[in-house]
Structure 1
């Protein structure tokens, strides 16, 4: 069995793509996922299954959400190692007195090229900052996520990918859940 973390984008936000996590849990269990566990209402779902390929797991979850809820929801699936690497490689954590409430990570559906940061033209969003590492974009917002145009929609459009963003507190909690599962 492999444990996967499915990060659903754009559910239960401002009355859009509403779904109760308990119903989602039951839906995924009914199609063979085991030990389904959700964390908060914004679409963080742990599943165990024999399938090791994250993209295949994401596709199946996306299909089941559409069948059960009628929502077309992008899904990015990651593993425990992805979160561990996320912690190890976040360049903003190395700064003295960094405010972790301003740190976010965009999880991307595919590995990015090292020059993808140029495509984002992050300098036009100063003082917000960003750094790319494989299939993650580390973000440090100067004011906050709600007051910037450097968001998931912008990232998706510029890089032609699926992206979903989580704040640092959520990422910390998700890693804790992963660690307690094993």
Structure 2
């Protein structure tokens, strides 16, 4: 059976979107997932599934998470190979002068015109790199006052996204993709 890494968007934020690890595991298993593991309580899940397409895995998980949590949980699924490639890109792109390196994981690849709008926001110390279903937001000194808004990526691209920091993505790749 194929393995997948799922990223849950917007859980454990505020009082109304709590989704405990045990509930995530139970819901993932209810969706047909086996060998389920989680990493920290921000919605990172490794599973195997009989389903063979990313879209079918996402749909099954989203249905099970809604049933268990009581609210919609957008879910973005990657193969271990895809996640390993994103992590390798992240390590290649990072620089010692960065204040932050955010990775936005996307449900779907964004349209080129939307990517161009996002790239136009780059500043002298900030850089945006879009590769497939991943966006690397490389924020240099003074990024808070720069033209790149780290919270506007999803809106700018018009796709469902969730973000993780460099450490989480590279740790998951080492832990689950080897």
Give TM-score, length-normalised by structure 2: 0.85
Task: Confirm or deny: 8 A CA contact 1:13 1:42 kept in the other structure.
Answer: no
> Is 1:60–2:60 an aligned residue pair?
yes
In structure 2, the residue matched to 1:50 is 50
In structure 1, the residue matched to 2:150 is 151
1:34-60 alpha-carbon deviations (Å, 9 max, x no partner): 011111000001110111211111111
Residue 144 of structure 1 deviates from its aligned partner by 8.8
In structure 1, the residue matched to 2:89 is 89
Tell me the C-alpha RMSD between the 2 structures: 2.6
Gaps of 5+ in 1: none
Residue 5 of structure 1 deviates from its aligned partner by 0.7
Worse-superposed segment, 20-29 or 163-172: 20-29
Look up the SS of the partner of 1:7 in the other structure: strand
Task: Tell me the matched-pair count.
Answer: 176
Aligned counterpart for 1:111 among listed residues 109, 112, 121: 109
> Is 1:38–2:38 an aligned residue pair?
yes
The alpha-carbon distance between structure 1 residues 137 and 144, as it changes in their structure 2 partners (threshold 3 A), is farther
Give TM-score, length-normalised by structure 1: 0.83
In structure 1, the residue matched to 2:135 is 137
Gaps of 5+ in 2: none
Worse-superposed segment, 107-116 or 64-73: 107-116
